Amino acid sequence: MTVGSVRHLYVHLPFCAHRCGYCDFVTVVGREGEHGRYVSALLAELELERRRLDDTLDTVFLGGGTPTFTEARELRRLLDALPDAAEVTVEANPETVTPELAAELRAAGVNRVSLGAQSFRPQLLEVLERLAGPDAVRRAFYSLRDAGFDNISLDLIYGIPGQSAPIWTRISPRR
Ligand SMILES: C[S@@+](CC[C@H](N)C(=O)[O-])C[C@H]1O[C@@H](n2cnc3c(N)ncnc32)[C@H](O)[C@@H]1O
Ligand code: SF4
């Protein structure tokens, strides 16, 4: 086995408040009582693989599911145990981002947040069965900025039923 050659780590947190109809990822709704056991299992697996990781990684990416739906104490326990990395990203659903959560992520060493916006058109968000509307995306963005994040990305989806190319190029409805 090569020791210490892996410089990128993806960690999956599957818990979601709601299952969006288009989603193909490994997610679970409910089972809130199992966040702690899941994080413990992740950390046990990390120990088994730790020799393969460099001491400091280039990137750590917590994806989901909805990492920011994970019980706050368990998310912090996970972040504290992960290897140091130049870039630590957490995926966040906009409706889960509060000023408190943003500050907590920052304090735990997260320096990049990937927000699942998908679209700024309420009708298309309805098709996707998203819980967050455009205002929630904006609120989340400003909470993250206020907490000191200068690296925020937005996921957008193209190909939603009812979404034409001209609609896509305008991104958000004319006001
Ligand atoms: C797996 S989701 C996790 C992030 C978060 N739960 C959310 O929904 O914003 C990561 C991103 O993958 C994209 N995605 C989800 N389902 C997809 C699908 N079936 N096809 C293409 N992209 C998808 C969305 O843009 C989403 O923001
Ligand atoms: S919130 Fe994200 S991960 Fe969860 S079901 Fe929706 S798209 Fe999938």
Protein residue whose Cα sits closest to atom 6 of ligand 2: 20
Please tell me the pTM assigned to this model: 0.94
Protein residue whose Cα sits closest to atom 7 of ligand 2: 23
Protein residue whose Cα sits closest to atom 8 of ligand 1: 116
Task: Give bridge partners of residue 3 from the DSSP assignment.
Answer: none
Confidence of residue 165 (pLDDT cuts 50, 70, 90): confident
Confidence of residue 170 (pLDDT cuts 50, 70, 90): confident
pLDDT at 169 (0 to 100): 80
Q: What is the DSSP string of 13-74?
A: E-EESS--TT--S--EES-GGGHHHHHHHHHHHHHHHGGGB-SEEEEEEEEES-GGGS-HHH
Tell me, using a 6 A CB cutoff, whether residue 27 lines ligand 1. no
pLDDT at 93 (0 to 100): 97
CA 58 to chain centre: 18
Gyration radius (Cα) of the chain, Å = 17
Cβ neighbour number for residue 109 with a 10 Å cutoff: 13
For the segment 47-60, the average pLDDT, to the nearest whole number, is 94
Is pLDDT above 60 for 73? yes
Ligand 2: residue of 16, 119, 154 to mutate (most ligand atoms within 8 A of CB) is 16
Contacts of 11 (CB under 8 A, 6+ apart): 42, 60, 61, 62, 63, 78, 82
* The CA-based dihedral angle spanning residues 99, 101, 106, 107, taken in that order and rounded to the nearest 10 degrees: 110
pLDDT at 172 (0 to 100): 60
Which 8-state DSSP code applies to residue 6?
B
Confidence of residue 171 (pLDDT cuts 50, 70, 90): low
**Atom number of ligand 2 nearest to Cα 93:** 1
pLDDT at 32 (0 to 100): 86
